[in-house]
């Protein structure tokens, strides 16, 4: 797999797909890849920062794309409920896959994709970009080496704001079902998926991934949507440090994203959106520059299988377990309007919940659910015991449909 640029096809070229087009264009200018085709159900605009080279076909059926271009790598940036179907087809067409997060809907789909990859000899990288962070690598190396002592617990907190238009960005946004099919969206598994995955990466550095997880999740919504815009997740497993993730898209004070790791030597804090890190004993946080592109990492693995994938499918199994339970937990309860504050700016309406950022930081600090903190609008948590191995396959033949929406 040396001596020529890898051929790449992109399925889902609009929405977040434009980010992938920019990354592919950067690597094409460096002679590392060659874009051979894109697929989208809508017309693809040729934009200055996301160009389509002359002669590159744009089709509406990903199967036509695979058959006519026979790419080395397929980048999949489509709604999560379409990921399994397309990734399986790409692997069976002989391509390695870069798959947007969340990778699949549940553990059965995860097991099926893993089986197909083993059968075809292909690999799948999941686009958790923050796993390429040099700051995260420095933190996990310090943990794995024992330099920080034993990790006692891990927590993340994030508080963002999203206007109503965020939930109009795609037909599946804010939904649990679409056209008779389960879809997956919500604060935990979409915008804050990186917060969850960063915590899981830290836990992985402290010991092997658990096979049985006790999961508790509180999910809430301040809008008439079907998924969570505010949530607290707590994971416990024998022999592993407990994890809490407390997040909202209705923050009254913005918290970009922090991962707090308590150890025998003190607390480490990773500001994962800014690649800033403070280890125990260090007086100040500092930027740890550098992020490895996961597409570049996949290309390096293709050239030399000794190069480890930073976000291979197997590394995401616990995240998929979380996504499975979040998707199956039902419509979250509404936060009563008495606790809302609505702001309209330039025609954009944003709902915030006064005090919620402080509540979530408290939940992260205390490793508590909001109900345990006496939050007046808290509701009972969804609880489950999840086994991350031994799941059965799903019938890919049931996952029909040529056209796929493209906004991820």
- The enclosing domain of 359 has a CATH number of 3.30.360.10
pLDDT the model gives residue 389: 65
Answer yes or no: are the C-beta atoms of 154 and 233 closer than 8 Å.
Answer: no
Same structural domain, 137 and 122: no
* Domain CATH number, residue 23: 3.40.50.720
- pTM: predicted TM-score of the whole model, two decimal places: 0.93
Same structural domain, 58 and 46: yes
Which of 129, 152, 177 is at the close of a domain?
129
pLDDT confidence band for 31 (50 / 70 / 90): very high
Same structural domain, 88 and 157: no
Residue 273's domain comprises 131-282+311-387
> Kindly report the CA angle at 311 between 251 and 173, in degrees rounded to 5?
40
Please check whether residue 291 lies inside any domain of the structure.
Answer: no
Please check whether residue 302 lies inside any domain of the structure.
Answer: no
pLDDT confidence band for 318 (50 / 70 / 90): very high
Is the predicted pLDDT of residue 54 greater than 90, yes or no?
A: no
Is the predicted pLDDT of residue 80 greater than 70, yes or no?
A: yes
Please check whether residue 294 lies inside any domain of the structure.
Answer: no
Residues 6+ apart with CB under 8 A from 283: none
Same structural domain, 193 and 116: no
Please check whether residue 340 lies inside any domain of the structure.
Answer: yes
pLDDT the model gives residue 406: 37
Is the predicted pLDDT of residue 402 greater than 90, yes or no?
A: no
Same structural domain, 234 and 379: yes
Kindly report the average pLDDT of the chain as a whole number. 92
Same structural domain, 147 and 206: yes
Question: pLDDT exceeding 70 applies to what percent of the chain?
Answer: 94
Buried b (16+ CB within 10 A) or exposed e, 177-202: ebeeeebbbbbbbbbbbbbbbbbbbb
Total domains, the chain: 2
Please check whether residue 395 lies inside any domain of the structure.
Answer: no
């Amino acid at each position: 797999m040396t001596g020529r640029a890898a051929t790449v096809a992109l399925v889902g070229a609009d929405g977040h797909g434009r980010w992938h087009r920019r990354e592919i264009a950067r690597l094409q200018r460096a002679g590392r890849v060659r874009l051979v085709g894109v697929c989208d159900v809508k017309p693809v605009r040729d934009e200055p920062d996301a160009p389509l080279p002359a002669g590159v076909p744009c089709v509406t059926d990903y199967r036509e794309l695979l058959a006519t271009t026979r790419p080395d790598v397929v980048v999949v940036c489509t709604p999560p409920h379409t990921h399994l179907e397309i990734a399986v087809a790409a692997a069976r067409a002989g391509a390695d896959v870069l798959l947007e997060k969340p990778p699949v809907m549940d553990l059965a789909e995860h097991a099926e994709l893993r089986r197909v990859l083993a059968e075809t000899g292909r690999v799948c990288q999941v686009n958790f970009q923050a796993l390429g962070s040099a700051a995260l690598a420095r933190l996990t190396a310090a943990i794995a080496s024992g330099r920080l002592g034993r990790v006692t617990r891990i927590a993340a907190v994030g508080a963002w704001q999203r206007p109503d238009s965020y939930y109009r960005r795609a037909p599946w946004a804010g939904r649990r079902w679409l056209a008779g099919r389960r879809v997956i969206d919500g604060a935990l598994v979409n915008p804050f998926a990186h917060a969850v995955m960063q915590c899981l990466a830290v836990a992985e550095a402290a010991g092997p991934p658990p096979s049985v997880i006790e999961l508790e999740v509180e999910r809430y919504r301040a809008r008439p949507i079907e998924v969570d815009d505010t949530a607290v997740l707590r994971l416990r497993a024998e022999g592993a440090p407990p994890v809490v993730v407390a997040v909202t898209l209705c923050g009254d004070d913005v918290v970009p994203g922090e991962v707090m790791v308590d150890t025998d030597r003190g607390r480490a804090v990773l500001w994962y959106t800014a690649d800033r890190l403070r280890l125990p004993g260090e007086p100040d946080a500092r930027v740890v520059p550098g992020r490895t592109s996961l597409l570049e990492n996949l290309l390096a693995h293709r050239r030399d299988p000794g190069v480890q994938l930073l976000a291979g499918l197997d590394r995401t199994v616990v995240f998929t377990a979380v996504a499975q339970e979040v998707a199956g937990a039902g419509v979250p309860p509404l936060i009563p309007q008495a606790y809302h504050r609505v702001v309209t700016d330039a025609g954009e309406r944003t709902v915030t919940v006064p005090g919620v950022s402080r509540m979530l930081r408290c939940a992260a600090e205390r490793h508590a659910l909001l109900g345990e903190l006496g939050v007046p609008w808290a509701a009972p948590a969804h609880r489950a015991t999840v086994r991350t191995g031994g799941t059965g396959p799903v019938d890919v033949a049931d996952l029909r449909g040529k056209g796929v929406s493209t906004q991820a």
